[in-house]
Structure formats: structure tokens, C-alpha cells
Amino acid sequence: MRIPYSVLTKNSRLSTTTTLFLLTTSIITFLPILTIAEPQHATKEQIIIYACQQGLSPYKFDCGDQSYWACACQYPPVFGSLVSCMDSYLPEDNTNIKEKAWNLLSENCRKYGDVHGVTQKLIQSVLTNSTKYLINGDDKNLRRDEINYVPILPNKEDVLGSFRDYWVFLGNLDIGQYDGFIINYYFLVVLSLCGLFYQLKRYSIIRSFHSKWLNSIRSKLSMSLIFGSHSNEFHIYKSFTTLLPSRLEFFVLLGYFTLNAHFVFFGYEIYPKNHIFGPNTTRQFLRYIADRSGIISLAHLPILVLFAGRNNLLIRLTGVNYSSFMIYHKWTARVMFFDAIIHSLAYYVLMLQNGQLSYYRSLDWFLNGVNALYLCLVIVILAIHNFRKKCYELFIVMHISLAALFFYGCYLHCKPFGWLSWVYYAAGFWISDRVLRLVNLWKFGAPMAKIHYISDQTFKVSVQRPHNWRAFPGCFVYVHFLHPRLFWQSHPFTIVDSVEGFQEVTIYIKAKEGLTKSVLDIIGIQGPYSMRVSLEGPYGIENPLKNYDNVLLIAGGNGVPGPFYHAVELAKSSLIPKRRIKLIWVIRSIDSLRWFEKALEVALDYLGYFEIEIHITSKDFQLDQIKTDPLLLKFRDFKFFKGRLNSEKVLKEELGNAVGSVAITTCGPPILCDQIRKLVANELNACPYRVDLFEELQVW
Ligand SMILES: Cc1cc2nc3c(=O)[nH]c(=O)nc-3n(C[C@H](O)[C@H](O)[C@H](O)COP(=O)(O)OP(=O)(O)OC[C@H]3O[C@@H](n4cnc5c(N)ncnc54)[C@H](O)[C@@H]3O)c2cc1C
Ligand SMILES: NC(=O)c1ccc[n+]([C@@H]2O[C@H](COP(=O)([O-])OP(=O)(O)OC[C@H]3O[C@@H](n4cnc5c(N)ncnc54)[C@H](OP(=O)(O)O)[C@@H]3O)[C@@H](O)[C@H]2O)c1
Ligand SMILES: *[C@@H]1O[C@H](CO)[C@@H](O)[C@H](O)[C@H]1NC(C)=O
Ligand SMILES: *[C@@H]1O[C@H](CO)[C@@H](O)[C@H](O)[C@H]1NC(C)=O
């Protein structure tokens, strides 16, 4: 059946207004963190109360069996001492600081001493009365071991010293909170910059950004890799592997590491004459670093969750893809863990020195914190690449359940102290992602799909989509096979839309070891099999290949659907061929042609619009087969080659001969994509026009 091409799928690009709208909303969602978050800890009105209490602590009063606050808010000598001290030593301030201090005092009386009716007026009268009796704390006649029956004004230096001590101690908590914001905003700003370049590409302004000088920066900075490996796994030691960030991602991370290290390790005010911690400066440092690293660690939770979400708005806005966000997700998580370890170690040493460890071990919030730390350790260990690669499903189930427990642990740990808004934000991001995922699934529904094994371990899933469900080239979906054994798993696959059938989504799946193998076992290799499926998506970014005069699409093996869909859409979008479009497909054997045969037939209609080159690498393939094999005969207008693609030669030729800007897209075996990225980075200057590389392969 031929498809009515006139019915084109609508382009799913976001309009400028939508983009602006989304950008503003996403920034605004971050802003409330600033406003509703933790109240400031170091305020003068609060600290003057602590400092005066500290200053009065050496003197004895006759409070009977009253609690401290009940006595301090009622018994005239103590009450009078406290308000006289506050009145005399509260630092000048241009706000109505005294009023705030009296309000806070009255609030404390109500909260902690159950004493009501401590009004400004009452405080004034107590103050006036005490001046008649007030004795200076330094008075020679005053004996410290005897009970006093009159108000005492403590020594000025003592009180102001304590004031500074509390200012530093509580101020440190506020600094931790600000540092946390800065880390959140660092990522927001850096990602906005990425978004700016993405918009420049989308509106084809970037084409004029071209110079040798710029190219050398791009080839060294934004395009290069680290140890030549990005999509392809990197062997750290023997079979111990990992996925490395690209160089650009590395620099973004480097800035973040520096910021975090600077915040955690520096900027402490430590001095010997400290009334809270005594002369031991190490203890001061340990306590400050413990508090600050704890808060900064907690401040990581929202971005951590946001980066891992499938429905992360920032992906669409900034053009930074999911695999890139995954890199940031992993590294922010590791840094959060590192900060949490600093927090725990510092407190551990302090508690050991105090000999209070066993006391703290009896407290719930303490135990919950310890448990959260251990959970975090397990999560980080389970996330190593080797395990993820081997048992992705087990990994993801454990990752999510342990993470949920970890979040709950953090919540319980912080509940008595505050800073919970970080946890709430993280939970909010997580829940909204889950809800959007359900909405996406619901939008697609669960239609019956035709699943058909074809060749080369590859089966094809064809399913009718709702008419208002919009796909775009390069998009991918998460497929749920609605089978009792499989429905709970969802795996990412690239789709082509309305290429093989009208409003029909087609997915070409290569059977590997897990879910895909189970599906193949169920459907068998005979005729088509019917099964309900639900597709969650479409996700991903539409790379603006339209804006380039030359488009080179390079695909390997099962990576072809994305680049092919691009080629077809590019051809459809112009009535006369105005761009040079070339699709190069590297495959192992003609078996791969079979599962993609239907789609390739469509390409035959567009031969005036694009060229197709097919490289077949199997030893068994001979070029003369083109004249005999019926399948190859059908596609005789394509160019066939034997052996691997010589990427270097092809790129040099394409770039050297290009007239106008060039876009290169890759999708295929990771090593092939990394090689091409390296080559393009080195050859940027071979082309007198702007060259951009768009990688579609994603690995996480
Ligand atoms: C954006 C994107 C588009 C893709 N498009 C296609 C496509 O069009 N055709 C195709 O054949 N393959 C495609 N893949 C690869 C496909 O997702 C995996 O091959 C498939 O999920 C493997 O399932 P399995 O359980 O059989 O794998 P396993 O044999 O268990 O694992 C094989 C590999 O797949 C990875 N993997 C397994 N499950 C997931 C998952 N849920 N998410 C991410 N990675 C996973 C593992 O880490 C492992 O490296 C795509 C992958 C991505 C990320
Ligand atoms: N959007 C996405 O992220 C997305 C979409 C679809 C598929 N995928 C992934 O894409 C990959 C496709 O792999 P596959 O298993 O289908 O491929 P494959 O069969 O292993 O390889 C395809 C062809 O690429 C050739 N090739 C490999 N490395 C090369 C190199 N460095 N230079 C030149 N040619 C090279 C191979 O040649 P030899 O025979 O000589 O090795 C082979 O002919 C899978 O990992 C799949 O999961 C990802
Ligand atoms: C005034 O202060 C003195 C000394 O603290 C106290 O004994 C007395 O009761 C106070 N008088 C009033 C009216 O509060
Ligand atoms: C994803 O985005 C990053 C940053 O924008 C880009 O460098 C990379 O090529 C893209 N593709 C992959 C597979 O990482």
C-alpha cells in the first residue's frame, strides 16, 4: 500500500511564544524556593536573646521549680535582666529592630514558657522598673555564688562576644542555604546558555557564526570528547566501564565541582575566643563544615530529580538531550553523596569527642539520617555502569525504590530542624513527572499492534496512532508491551511516523537479552502477532536540520530509523530539491535491508531529493549480487558499497565540496558515532561554511 503523502504530519516544533512561556514558567517555578524556603537563622533580634542569656548564665536567681522561660518571662529580676541587656546591647539598625526583638521575646514566652500577655507595653514597664534596681554584672560587691534578687546587666564585651559567636554560627546555616540556591541557579544559567545556542540553530542565525577562530574553539571545547569516548563505554580498568561526559559537559561539571568545593571547604570565620565552642578552633570548624555541607547536600535534591525526569521541560527548552541530563544527574548525585559524607563525618568526630555518640544513637532523626546515608551509598554503588548494562531492569527498580526510601529518610532526618522545602521540591518534580508519564500513556491509549519478526534479530511493531498525537523526526517513545509478563517495563525506541502506513507508527526493534528477547520469544518468528502496546512519548528534540543547505545523515545498523525519518521529512518539506541530502547506512548484511524494506520503498519515490548509500560489511557479500539478488535489484538506484564506511574520507569529501552550511547527523553503534564526532571536530576548517553535528544516539 502506498501512503498519501499529502497528509503530512504536522511539525511539532515549539513556537517562540510557547518557548518563552515555558521558559518563564520554569524559571518562576524555581523562584519560590528563594522566598518560601528556610527562614533566615541569623537575625539580630534572635541572636541578642541568645547572647543575653549566655551573658547572664554565670549569675544565680531564685526561679524555684519554674522552667527557664516561665521564670524569664515573669520573675522580675530575671525578666528585668534580660530586657535590660537586650535594650542596652542590641546593635543599632535602621529597621525597627527593637520592636522585632520585643515581639520575638513575647513569642518565645508564649511558646516555651506558656506565659501569655507579654506585650510591648509590659516589657517597657519592666524595663523602666529595672533601671531603678539594676546592678552592673562587673560590680565588685556582686558575689557570683550567691542568689541575686535584683536585675543584673551582664558585661558588655561578654554579650557582644557571644553576639558575634551566634552570628557566625547561625549565619553559617544561612550561608549554606544561599550556596544551595547558587548551585541550583548555576545549572539553570548554564543550561539557559545552551538553550541560547539551540535557539540560534533553530532560527538558523547560527549559520553566520563562522570563522576559523571560532572553529578552533568549537573543536577544542564543545565538540571534543574526553579520551575519545562518549556514547561508547570507557574502560577504567579492565572490564570496569563507565560513560564519560563530553568535553563541554566536563567543563560544565568542572565549574560546578569548583563551586561546590569552594562552598563546602572555605569561608568559615574561626577564632579562639568563642563562647559557644570554647577555644578549640577545630571543633568550631567541624561544626560549621558539618552544618554547611549538610544543607548544600540537601539542596541538591530538586535538580537531581528534575534532571532524571523524562518530562523534564528543560530538554525541550535548551535542546540539551536526555543523555546529557543523565550525565548531570549522575554527577550531581555523586557530589550530593560526597557532601553528605562530609556532613556525617564531621558530626561523627564531634559526637565522639563529646562522648555523646550513644546518646544520639537513641534519637530517631539521627538514625534516619544515618540510614539515608547508607541508602545513598548503596544507590551510588548499584548505579555503576557494569551493573546497569547487565541488568538494567533490576537496576531501575532498585534505584527507584531505594531512592524513595532515601528521600523519606532525608525528610525524617530534617523534620525537627527545617530545610524541608528542598525535599518537597524534589518530591514535587518526581510526582509531576510520574503524572505526566501517565497522561502521555493515556493520550496514546492501548491499541492493538502488529508485531512481526522479519530478519536479522529484528522485529517490527506497527501501531495506529491517535490522529492528534504528533511525532517528529528523531523522536523516541517508551514502549509498554501489554503482556502479563512485560507490561511494567518500558524501553526507549526510535519511531518513524506515517512512513509505512497512514497515521501508523513503526518501530524496528533489535532483540537483545532482556525485554526485547522476551517479546521475540512470545511472538515467535512465524507470521504477524497481535498484542496491545502503549507508547509513552514522543520524547526527544527535533534537530533543526531544515536550516542547513547540506544534510549528511550517517546511520549504522538499527540506528537508521531516526536519520531516515529526517530524510523523508526534509524531502517532503520542499517541493523542489533545494538541499543536498545524503543518507549513509552501514549494515552487516542484506538481512538488515529486509526489515527496513518497506520504508526503503518509500525512499524510491524521493530519489530526486536525496541520495542513499548503503555499505555492507559482511564478508559474504559480493558487489555482483546487485545484479542478481531481487531485493538489491529493487533498490538498484541506491549506491552499494562493500566493507566498512571510511568515515574520514567521506567527511573530508563532503565538507570540502560543500556549498553552503552542513549538518551532520549520526545514529548507530556508539563507537562509530564517537569516531565521527572526533573527525568532525578535527575537520571543521575543511569547510568554508558553518558545520554542525547533531548526534541522535543516546546512551545512559
Ligand atoms: C533514545 C533511544 C532510542 C533507541 N531506539 C532504538 C531502536 O529504534 N531500535 C532498537 O533496536 N533499539 C533502540 N534503542 C536501544 C533499546 O532501547 C535497547 O536495545 C533495549 O531497551 C534493550 O532492551 P533489553 O531489555 O532487551 O536489553 P538488555 O539486553 O537487557 O540490555 C541491552 C542494553 O540496553 C540497555 N537498556 C536496557 N534497558 C534499557 C532502558 N529501559 N533504557 C535505556 N537503556 C536500556 C542496557 O543498558 C544495555 O546496554 C534505543 C535506545 C535509546 C536510548
Ligand atoms: N536514538 C538512539 O539512541 C538509537 C536508535 C536506534 C538504535 N540505537 C542503538 O544503535 C545501535 C545500532 O547497533 P546495531 O547492533 O544495529 O549495529 P551493528 O549491527 O553492530 O553495526 C552496524 C554496522 O556498523 C558497522 N560499524 C561498527 N563500527 C563501525 C566503525 N567504527 N566504522 C564504520 N562502521 C562501523 C558495522 O560493521 P562491522 O560489521 O564491520 O562491525 C556494521 O556493519 C544499537 O546499540 C542500538 O541500541 C540507538
Ligand atoms: C520592680 O523590680 C523589682 C526588682 O526586680 C521587683 O522586686 C519589683 O517587684 C518590680 N516592680 C514591679 C511593679 O514590677
Ligand atoms: C546531546 O546534547 C549534547 C549537549 O547539547 C550534545 O553535545 C550531544 O551531541 C547530544 N547527543 C548525545 C548523544 O549526547
Ordered DSSP codes for 654-691? HHHH--S-EEEEEESSHHHHHHHHHHHHHHGGGSSS-E
Distance spanning both ends of the chain, measured CA to CA = 38
What's the pLDDT at 4?
33
Q: Which distant-in-sequence residues (6+ apart) come within 8 Å of 372 by Cβ?
A: 340, 406, 409, 410, 413
| Helices and strands in the chain: count of H runs, count of E runs | 26, 19
In sequence order, the 6+-apart residues with CB closer than 8 A to the CB of 268 are: 172, 284, 285, 288, 289
| Closest ligand 1 atom, residue 518 Cα | 26
Q: Would you say the CB of residue 510 lies under 6 angstroms from ligand 2?
A: yes
Taking the C-alpha atoms of residue 674 and residue 583, their distance in angstroms, rounded to an integer, is: 18
> Angle CA(641)–CA(643)–CA(649) in degrees, nearest 5?
80
- Angle CA(194)–CA(493)–CA(551) in degrees, nearest 5? 55
CA distance 374 to 387: 19
CB-based burial label for 301 (10 Å; 0-12, 13-18, 19+):
buried
Ligand 2 contact, 452 CB (< 6 A): no
CA within 13 Å, CB half, 351 = 14
Task: Categorize the per-residue pLDDT at 526 as very low, low, confident or very high, splitting at 50, 70 and 90.
Answer: confident
Cα–Cα distance between 641 and 656 in angstroms, integer?
Answer: 22
Helix (H) / strand (E) containing 186: helix 156-202
User: At residue 6, does pLDDT exceed 50?
Assistant: no
320 Cα nearest atom in ligand 4: 5
The dihedrals phi and psi of 521, each to the nearest 5 degrees, come to -60, -40
The answer to whether the pTM exceeds 0.85 is yes
How far is residue 516 from each of residues 534, 558, 582, measured CA to CA in Å? 15, 14, 31
Q: For 309-333, what is the mean pLDDT? A: 93
Model confidence at 348, in pLDDT bands (50, 70, 90)? very high
**For residue 555, how far is its CA from the centre of ligand 2 (angstroms)?**
8
Residue 567: exposure state from Cβ atoms within 10 A (0-12, 13-18, ≥19):
buried
Q: How confident is the model over 505-526, as a mean pLDDT?
A: 94
Lowest mean pLDDT among 7-16, 184-193, 525-534, 615-624: 7-16
Is the CB of residue 321 below 6 angstroms from any atom belonging to ligand 4?
yes
Q: Calculate the CA 586 to chain-centre distance.
A: 34
Q: What is the pLDDT of residue 360?
A: 95
Asked whether the beta carbons of 503 and 495 are under 8 A apart, the reply is no
Q: What is the 3-state secondary structure (H, E, C) of 11-79?
A: CCCCCHHHHHHHHHHHHHHHHHHHHHCCCCCCCHHHHHHHHHHHHHCCCEECCCCCCHHHHHCCCHHHH
Which of 515, 672, 678, when mutated, tests ligand 2's pocket best, judged by the most ligand atoms within 8 Å of its CB? 672
DSSP-assigned beta bridge partners for residue 532: 448
Q: Is the pLDDT of residue 7 over 90?
A: no
Give the dihedral sign, CA 380/386/389/395.
negative
pLDDT value at residue 180: 93
C-alpha 491 – ligand 1 centre gap (Å): 6
Residue 531, helix vs strand vs coil: strand
293 within ligand 1 shell (Cβ under 6 A): no
For 165, residues 6+ apart whose C-beta sits below 8 A from its C-beta are 51, 274, 275, 276, 277
CA distances from 667 to 326, 452, 590, 597 (A): 18, 23, 19, 19
- Per-residue pLDDT tens for 206-240? 888 888 899 999 999 889 999 989 999 999 999 99
Q: What is the pLDDT of residues 77-111, one digit of tens each?
A: 999 999 999 999 998 887 789 999 999 999 999 99
Alpha-carbon gap, residue 314 to 188, rounded angstroms: 9
Mean pLDDT along residues 245-262: 97
- 263 pLDDT tier (thresholds 50, 70, 90): very high
Give the mean model confidence (pLDDT) for residues 584-608: 94
Atom of ligand 4 nearest to the CA of 698: 13
Helix (H) or strand (E) holding 162: helix 156-202
Look up cell 524501553; give the residue. 491
CB of 26 sitting under 6 A from ligand 4: no
CA of 31 to the centre of ligand 1 (A): 37
Q: Mean pLDDT, the chain, as a whole number? A: 91
Tell me how far apart the alpha carbons of residues 563 and 583 are, in angstroms, rounded to a whole number. Answer: 7
